[in-house]
């Protein structure tokens, strides 16, 4: 189905099932521990062996030799895979560095060997017996040192490296009020609960992998390309994923080495990345250095806005697109953005929840706060003053929906923003200095092709099959709601099967595009099934009504199941969007409000209140969507106050590569969170009239926390995370 304009009649608009706060249909499986995650699929194939990955012990250099003798003789060992015996390997389209290193080493903890044994303990013990002789080389591990040699990156999903409108330099120089500030964000890790894990089994030349992967079609294609086999010989199955955040978008070492280990051992092999390898072996959010310059008239009108960002990556890696939101969020006649990429020998940087905007708004939204302070203007009012209903770089493109101002006004009213003291360091609650902060939320709405297959059986059960994945977001439920609405059946009459490369290719889970596009694909397949049912029953498909398990037209009513016949009915289709993205600018908006307390003696920061107001199209399942937003808000607090993959610049690794030393928020760090969805439908976005919310919720949170800390203390921190050592030396001045 080609979607180019709203349908005259859209069954989804009935909202009998869609739009209701529905509990996850797979919830009982997850809460009882019976949902089959990748490493736990003991029943899918017999005689499973265990693989243990050995990661490189240097950050840059080469392997001179590997002595396997002692490991081969260890109890239970079945096979050892290295680059020497793995055969010729290609590189997946989406992998910047080879997943199996040797003899050249691209980064620390790059996989260099897999030991396969009868038990996990035997594989782990034997892995310690490998003797690897390395030659270290000088590597580049410091982003700040690489800035001077940084280059313009190739265009990516974040757009070109540079954009310019008007005459930024002269307009900035002439502005009566100017801000010129530098901000830094650190490397961050996904730190999802479920490790990267896979079980691989060969049946002749056919490979099946049960894994944890967000994008099934990408993973299957890149695995086939890496192994040098046809894609139709690879099947990936991933029905449940214990968190991804972008870290499982791409083929990783667990999948490849499970496949190589199974081939070498001639039996199925399961592999899970050890927690330390998840930080250095897989991808992470790259650090950034950002410079923001804003010029404004004294009434707050922005006349010039410039945003430059530097990030680093391995060879062939992409830049962190931290300037993306600055190209779209605020008006301003004279504009400039630029991204530069430094060559580093750290592990590969890539997508992590809201790549680009999450990092970029950590800087931009502090800069807006700083400009408001220079102007003596309320930060909410400044943002409203510079709202725009068109793409500032391409004024011919209007936003399909943009309720940014409404989000700010609603949030300010609910949060009690009018009670905020604009002078920092003035509000105390016992030993606590108290402050409020605000920031915009912004994330683009991406539309992409997504397919599904729908079956109707003799019992009137509708089964949906698509390779869409559920990473804890509620995909099973919103897809079931869509099919139930379209086919006029209750939820209990819908079966959803996800995460299998034998199913039609969907959009997959990432970029906050999954909910809108995957359900639109199911919508398209259901439209085709409705047409087939109507034709079989002798109805005009345009007049047929599907409701209460019946098909009605005129005075005639037939049970839906009757149309299935003995063999059932099957329909398959995909949603395609034509040139919509060129015609309209589609984005999601919000506003974050945060109150913090800072201990006047110790500089301990406590988040006291949080509120998010979001405008993100039709909310397909308010219960699941709220869960996504408050989870994102929690991650935003982590980014603000604690998350920091610390680089050992001598040896080229993230030194805090475990969950003990890479700190993330826990329950005690997070207060009650309020969030509100504005009433919005976006008929331009899809037949579902929905957008995404999972990444919008993190964008701007860290800056709102930082702005609240400034309001509480008068101390402006521009280098994340905001740890107490960055405050405590200045507290007496404001105490």
Quickly count: other Cβ atoms within 10 Å of residue 618's Cβ.
22
Helix, strand, coil abundance in the chain, percent, nearest 5: 30, 30, 45
Instruction: Copy the structure tokens of residue 461.
Output: 């059960």
The C-alpha atoms of residue 379 and residue 591 are separated, in whole angstroms, by: 12
Instruction: Copy the structure tokens of residue 207.
Output: 């490979």
| 38: exposed, middle or buried (Cβ count in 10 Å: 0-12, 13-18, 19+) | buried
430 Cβ neighbours under 8 A, 6+ residues apart? none
Cα separation values, 300 from 47, 50, 59, 391, Å: 69, 63, 48, 20
Quickly count: other Cβ atoms within 10 Å of residue 182's Cβ.
12
Quickly count: other Cβ atoms within 10 Å of residue 492's Cβ.
10
3-state secondary structure of 515: helix
Q: Which residue, 49, 81, 84, 48, is CA-closest to 63?
A: 84
What sections of 234-340 are H helices per DSSP?
253-265, 275-280
Cα separation values, 555 from 24, 123, 543, 551, Å: 37, 70, 12, 11
413 Cβ neighbours under 8 A, 6+ residues apart? none
558 Cβ neighbours under 8 A, 6+ residues apart? 537, 550, 551, 552
The C-alpha atoms of residue 105 and residue 112 are separated, in whole angstroms, by: 8
For residue 285, list its beta bridge partners. Answer: 188
Q: How far apart are the first and last CA of the chain?
A: 64
Structure letter (DSSP) for residue 284: B
Q: Which residue, 161, 595, 498, 137, is CA-closest to 345?
A: 137
3-state secondary structure of 421: coil
From the candidates 357, 365, 643, 695, give the one annotated as an active-site residue: 695
Cα separation values, 568 from 152, 533, 536, 539, Å: 55, 10, 12, 18
Structure letter (DSSP) for residue 22: P
| 357: exposed, middle or buried (Cβ count in 10 Å: 0-12, 13-18, 19+) | buried
Contact criterion met (CB below 8 Å) for 731 and 603: yes
Q: Which helix (H) or strand (E) holds 385?
A: helix 379-385
Active site residue 545: no
The C-alpha atoms of residue 227 and residue 629 are separated, in whole angstroms, by: 39
Quickly count: other Cβ atoms within 10 Å of residue 89's Cβ.
16
In residues, how long is the chain?
735
Contact criterion met (CB below 8 Å) for 186 and 288: no
CA 607 to chain centre: 24
3-state secondary structure of 599: strand
Residues annotated as catalytic are 695
């Amino acid at each position: 189905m080609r979607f180019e304009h709203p349908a005259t009649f859209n069954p989804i608009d009935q909202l009998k099932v869609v739009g209701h706060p529905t509990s996850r249909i797979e919830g009982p499986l997850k809460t009882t521990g019976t949902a089959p995650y990748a490493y736990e699929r003991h029943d899918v194939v017999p005689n499973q062996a265990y693989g243990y990955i050995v990661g490189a012990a240097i950050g840059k250099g080469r392997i001179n030799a590997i002595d396997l003798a002692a490991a081969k003789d260890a109890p239970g060992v079945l096979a050892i895979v290295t680059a020497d015996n793995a055969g010729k390997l290609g590189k997946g389209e989406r992998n910047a560095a080879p997943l199996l290193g040797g003899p050249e080493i691209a980064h620390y903890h790059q996989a260099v060997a897999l030991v396969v044994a009868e038990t996990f303990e035997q594989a782990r013990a034997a892995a310690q017996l490998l003797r690897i002789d390395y030659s270290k080389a000088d590597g580049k591990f410091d982003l700040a040192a690489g800035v001077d040699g940084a280059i313009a990156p190739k265009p990516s999903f974040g757009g070109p490296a540079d954009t310019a409108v008007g005459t930024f330099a002269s307009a900035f120089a002439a502005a009566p009020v100017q801000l010129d500030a530098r901000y830094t964000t650190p490397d961050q890790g996904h730190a999802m609960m479920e490790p990267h894990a896979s079980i691989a089994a060969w049946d002749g030349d056919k490979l099946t992998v049960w894994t944890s992967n967000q994008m099934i079609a990408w993973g299957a294609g890149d695995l086939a390309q890496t192994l040098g086999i046809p894609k139709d010989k690879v099947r990936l199955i991933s029905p449940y994923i214990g968190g991804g955040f972008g870290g499982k978008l791409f083929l990783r070492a667990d999948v490849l080495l499970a496949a190589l280990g199974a081939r070498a051992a001639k039996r199925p092999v399961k592999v899970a990345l050890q927690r330390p390898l998840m930080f250095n072996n897989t991808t992470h959010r790259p650090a950034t250095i950002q410079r923001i310059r804003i010029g404004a008239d004294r009434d707050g009108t922005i006349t010039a806005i410039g945003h430059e960002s530097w990030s680093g990556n391995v060879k062939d890696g992409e830049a962190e697109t931290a300037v993306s939101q600055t190209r779209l969020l605020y008006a301003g006649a004279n504009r400039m953005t630029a991204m530069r990429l430094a060559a580093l020998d750290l592990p590969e940087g890539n997508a992590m929840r809201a790549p680009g905007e999450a990092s970029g708004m950590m800087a931009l939204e502090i800069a807006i706060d700083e400009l408001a302070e220079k102007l003596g203007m309320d930060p909410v009012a400044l943002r409203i003053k510079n709202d725009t209903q068109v793409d500032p770089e391409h004024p011919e493109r209007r936003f399909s929906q943009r309720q940014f101002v409404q989000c700010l006004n609603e949030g300010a009213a609910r949060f009690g923003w009018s009670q905020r003291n604009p002078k920092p360091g003035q509000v105390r609650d016992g030993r606590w200095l108290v402050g409020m902060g605000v920031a915009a939320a912004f994330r683009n709405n991406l539309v992409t092709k997504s397919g599904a297959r729908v079956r109707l059986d003799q019992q009137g059960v509708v089964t949906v099959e698509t390779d869409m994945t559920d990473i804890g977001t509620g995909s099973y439920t919103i897809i079931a709601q869509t099919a139930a609405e379209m086919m006029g059946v209750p939820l209990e009459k819908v079966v959803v099967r996800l995460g299998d490369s034998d199913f039609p290719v969907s959009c997959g889970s990432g970029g906050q595009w999954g909910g809108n596009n995957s359900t639109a694909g199911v919508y398209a397949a259901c439209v085709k099934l409705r047409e087939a049912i109507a034709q079989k029953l002798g109805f005009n498909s345009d007049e047929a009504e599907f409701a209460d398990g019946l098909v009605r037209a005129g005075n005639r009513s037939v049970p839906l199941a009757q149309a299935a016949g003995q063999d059932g009915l099957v329909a398959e289709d995909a949603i395609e969007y034509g040139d919509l993205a060129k015609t309209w600018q589609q984005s999601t908006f919000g506003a974050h409000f945060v109150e913090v307390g800072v201990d006047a003696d110790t500089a301990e920061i406590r988040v006291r209140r949080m509120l998010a107001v979001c405008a993100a199209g039709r909310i397909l399942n308010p219960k699941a969507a709220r869960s996504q937003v408050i989870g994102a808000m929690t991650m935003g607090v982590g980014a603000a106050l604690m998350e920091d993959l610390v680089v050992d610049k001598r040896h080229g690794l993230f030194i805090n590569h475990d969950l003990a030393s890479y700190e993330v928020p826990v329950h005690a760090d997070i207060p009650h969170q309020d969030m509100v969805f504005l009433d919005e439908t976006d008929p331009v976005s899809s037949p579902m009239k929905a957008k995404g919310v999972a990444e919008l919720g993190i964008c701007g949170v860290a800056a709102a926390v930082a702005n609240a800390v400034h309001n509480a203390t008068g101390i402006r921190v521009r280098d994340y995370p905001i740890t107490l050592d960055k405050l405590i030396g200045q507290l007496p001045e404001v105490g």
